[in-house]
Structure 1
Amino acid sequence: MLQRVVPPSEGGDGVPQALVVVPTRELCVQVARDLGTAGAKRGTRVQAIYGGRAFEPQVAALQAGVEIVVGTPGRLLDLAQQGHLILGKVRVLVLDEADEMLDLGFLPDIERILAMVPTQRQTMLFSATMPGPIVTLSRSFMTQPTHIRAHGNDEGSTVPQTTQFVYRAHNLDKPELLSRVLQARGRGLAMVFCRTKRTAQKVADELVDRGFAAAAVHGDLGQGAREQALRAFRSGKVDVLVATDVAARGIDVTGVSHVVNYQCPEDEKTYVHRIGRTGRAGREGVAVTLVDWDDIPRWQLINKALDLPFADPPETYSTSPWVYSDLDVPEGARGRLPRAQRTREGLDAEVLEDLGETGKRTKSAGRGPAAESRSGSAAEARNGSAAEARNGSAAEARSDAERPARSSRPRRRTRGNGAAAEAVAAPHAEGTADTAEAPAGDAAESGEGAPRRRRRRRGGRGRSDGSESAGSGRGDSDGSGDGGSESAA
């Protein structure tokens, strides 16, 4: 590809002549750096185009002129549609990690990019696997493609320089066990892999609290924080990098001696990809996999696919003696790194660049002003919610206290030892009596001990008749109001 582009010293006009599409930002930065190093003697200009950074510096670099553009699909499409990225003179197109772009859902974006470049070009597609959509893509946008397969006799297996250990560990004991693994004698840089972004951040914060120089790389972090963590890891300011599989794709760092699978990988390809970060270039490495009880079926499939001798991992805790002997961990090692061994500068020693991004976390939780701001905001939110709840409860209690209580009228009996007629319970009205006095003529009637019948009145409720009802039963009600309503004749 470098031989097909024309640099400015040879008459190049600065319009992109080669385009490399990659799935992740970290891989974009790495490929651009390697191409820049390889083409430095000819003066070939290489520009990385990816999201999470401000548009202006990338647009200015394109306007100044570049020969090779390396980018992620989303930002490439944005700049091309805005007219800042001209793809009409692309001679070479490279699709790197095509299977990963397919898994991440970038296939529609790739098809749109392919429609923007000239049909007369050289197209190279690199993929670890060749699923059906990738084959269809190659047949649609490539003319008589040549399929080149690069593999060894031990394809799919791990390198012999990597010593593997698999332990069945309880999820609550994993932080203690990981702390002891990271205190092994002779350990260099270490990478810890997790399946989820939340777990990656939680493990990194836990390690920092235990005295380790750790940093996290995952999709919830802003681009500036991700690049800060990678720079600190490459420079040695941080010696433990906690990452997810997607964020770690394409990270190539020399000097990694230990790889820890904090969570069981999804399949055998992910497992080989993870532990392949150590044992490179003839160096020896150590790979430790912590398998929870729930992950045993998944691990057994991985073990069978790779023909590994770890079908039944031993139940292991942070105090198990074979952890110390297998990994050469000092006998007195505990869950926290001794202060005498805390010699790394840490993540805060690396400069955090302002890339103009928005909507992402720029610092890992648990450190620095950003963490304080987040914790303060969370505390304010919690306190505010609690205060609202308390105020709401108090207001409800006050309003309940201000409401008039419901009261029932006392029982009363009719004359002549008749059956009791129970008064009707009703709430007090505001200054108005509920009923009116019965007529005197009705009160005088006795009826030889028989119970009195109820009379109905207009606009009110029925009341029991009787000679005593006006005097004893309605005295309070009639006296409390401004005036009672008269009963119907």
Structure 2
Amino acid sequence: MTFSELNIDHDMVEALASKGITEPFPIQSQTIPLGLSGQDIIGQAKTGTGKTLGFGLPLLQRLGPDPEPGVQALVVVPTRELAIQVFEDLEQAASNRPTSIAAIYGGKAYEGQIAQLKAGAQVVVGTPGRLLDLAGQRLLNLGNVREMVLDEADKMLDLGFLADIEKLFAQTPATRHTMLFSATMPGPIVALARRFMTRPIHIRATDPDEGQVQANIKHLIYRAHSLDKDEVIARMLQAEGRGKTVIFTRTKRAAAKLVEELTDRGFSAAAVHGDLNQEQRERAMAAFRAGKKDVLIATDVAARGIDVDDVTHVINHTIPDDEKTYLHRVGRTGRAGKTGVAVTFVDWEDLHKWALINRALEFGQPEPVETYSSSPHLYSDLGIPAGAKGRLKPTPAVKTPEGDAPRSAPHGESDSARSGGNRRRRTRSGRPADGASASASAPAPSHADGSPAATGTHDGGGAQHRDGNSAPRRRRRRSRGGSPATPAS
């Protein structure tokens, strides 16, 4: 089946084809016809199954090829990263028509977002907090919304956005067309759907017999020593066929430390965590999506919304707290029908967590395999070339100011210390070593009349600078009784 056979407008079919998207995924084949007809939909599908176009194409087509200015469609998502991803997907689909799409989320300056709204954006993709903020300031009018989408509703429930969602629903017309998408259907989400949707059809895009764990992901569970993890990861990153890789850490500090370590080892790594501002996080995500960085290190909260189809490996630097977090993490790979590899490190003190996850997901691996960077099974499990070590290249060389040949810069060495050939060594007495004359290396400064110039010392000695250019001043030592002692040279 093609998008044309699903009655998608030709201009959008061409826009998708320009990006190599020609055949719909199952969730798209099921939701697009119903969405085009105006039927309210509850779509239940795992992350990475293509649901963005499943609701995005009907939404854009129902607005018409040249919609009137003003917000007519609202897509609510739980995180900033997902807002950016959905915005980019919709913008691509609508690239051949004048429909204007705005991304509205926190952590970004208000001015640009307000300007988009005032310019007449017809579709708004945003997070609950910033949407309510602008609506409260009467800068965002939801009174004409006729298409509304809730994406990853279960994540919004987890993040405590349910009350905000209800407030947004209350500001839209009761006759709107509504689509809700969620990987799971907890009770509060079902209640929300019943309250704000009209006879929705429930679409399940997965096989009812399919287990919770995706069959196209290879799961490897290792018990690793914390001091050896960086070395193990560095060798994993040299596995055959490895593409983009996401590494999850428990803390922001661990993420920052790991990105620094891997960069030092020669890998192209970036990080997204709570200590980075929104612009830094967006820059890191853009570099990862574009392939300029092929390793992304993230904490759980910052990683929500990482929607990149070509991630081949996920590494859990520390074990997630529960099976839901585990599924969310490893779901970054094996997307769009592709295969993936998920590696999880279990520390000795976290074996009880693994026991609970193992039981909940029915892995049948109660004992993680004890693994070190030199373990033969590590190389065979991941296809790591024999002899691979944990560093791609040596420490980058630096050139001296004189243009000498590059040499490795010792850690902490200052620019002046690296200046090269004209350095002088001194003995403890302050005199030049190796018989070198100090005056030969650095002529003493003088005034125009030939008299010695002061050297800027603070001892009042003027030209008698104590750097070996002249003998140090003679000091008088006093005995304990206060009488002068023999002058010391």
TM bin (shorter chain): 0.5 to 0.7
Distance (whole Å) between structure 2 residues aligned to residue 163 and residue 102 of structure 1: 29
Structure 2 counterparts to residues 193-232 of structure 1, below 5 A: 193-232=248-287
Which runs of 5 or more structure 2 residues have no equivalent in the other structure? 1-58, 397-489
Residue 95 (structure 1) aligned with residue 153 (structure 2): no
Q: TM-score, normalised by structure 2?
A: 0.65
Shift of residue 291, structure 1, vs aligned partner: 0.9
| 1:100 alignment partner AA | K
Residue 250 (structure 1) aligned with residue 305 (structure 2): yes
Aligned length: 338
Which residue does 2:93 correspond to in 1? 38
SS in structure 1 at match of 2:201: coil
| 2:74 alignment partner AA | L
Q: Deviations over 1:452-474 (max 9, x none)?
A: xxxxxxxxxxxxxxxxxxxxxxx
Q: Deviations over 1:41-89 (max 9, x none)?
A: 3322111111111111111111111111000011111111111111110
Q: Deviations over 1:263-310 (max 9, x none)?
A: 112222332332232233443322211111122122122222222232
Which residue does 1:278 correspond to in 2? 333
Which residue does 1:117 correspond to in 2? 172
Which residue does 1:13 correspond to in 2? 68
CA contact under 8 A between 2:252 and 2:299: conserved in structure 1?
A: yes
CA contact under 8 A between 2:74 and 2:145: conserved in structure 1?
A: yes
Which residue does 2:468 correspond to in 1? none
Which residue does 2:241 correspond to in 1? 186
Distance (whole Å) between structure 1 residues aligned to residue 337 and residue 93 of structure 2: 23
SS in structure 2 at match of 1:51: coil
Classify 1:267/1:330 alpha carbon distance in 2 versus 1 (closer, same or farther; 3 Å): same
Distance (whole Å) between structure 2 residues aligned to residue 298 and residue 240 of structure 1: 26
Distance (whole Å) between structure 2 residues aligned to residue 284 and residue 260 of structure 1: 15
Which runs of 5 or more structure 1 residues have no equivalent in the other structure? 343-489
| 2:264 alignment partner AA | D
In terms of mean alpha carbon deviation, does 60-69 or 148-157 score higher? 148-157
Classify 1:102/1:281 alpha carbon distance in 2 versus 1 (closer, same or farther; 3 Å): closer
Which residue does 1:264 correspond to in 2? 319
Structure 2 counterparts to residues 32-181 of structure 1, below 5 A: 32-181=87-236
Distance (whole Å) between structure 2 residues aligned to residue 318 and residue 243 of structure 1: 22
Classify 1:283/1:124 alpha carbon distance in 2 versus 1 (closer, same or farther; 3 Å): closer
| 1:295 alignment partner AA | D
Which residue does 1:449 correspond to in 2? none
CA contact under 8 A between 1:279 and 1:285: conserved in structure 2?
A: yes
Distance (whole Å) between structure 1 residues aligned to residue 275 and residue 376 of structure 2: 37
Q: TM-score, normalised by structure 1?
A: 0.65
Shift of residue 40, structure 1, vs aligned partner: 2.6
CA contact under 8 A between 1:156 and 1:269: conserved in structure 2?
A: no
CA contact under 8 A between 1:6 and 1:67: conserved in structure 2?
A: no
Classify 1:298/1:77 alpha carbon distance in 2 versus 1 (closer, same or farther; 3 Å): same
Which residue does 1:4 correspond to in 2? 62
Give the share of equivalent positions with the same residue, in percent: 61
Which residue does 1:303 correspond to in 2? 358
Q: Deviations over 1:309-350 (max 9, x none)?
A: 32211111222222122222233333322349x9xxxxxxxx
Which of 352, 376, 391 is matched with 1:336 structurally?
391
Distance (whole Å) between structure 2 residues aligned to residue 216 and residue 69 of structure 1: 28
Question: Segments of 4+ in structure 1 off by > 4 A?
Answer: none
Which residue does 2:375 correspond to in 1? 320
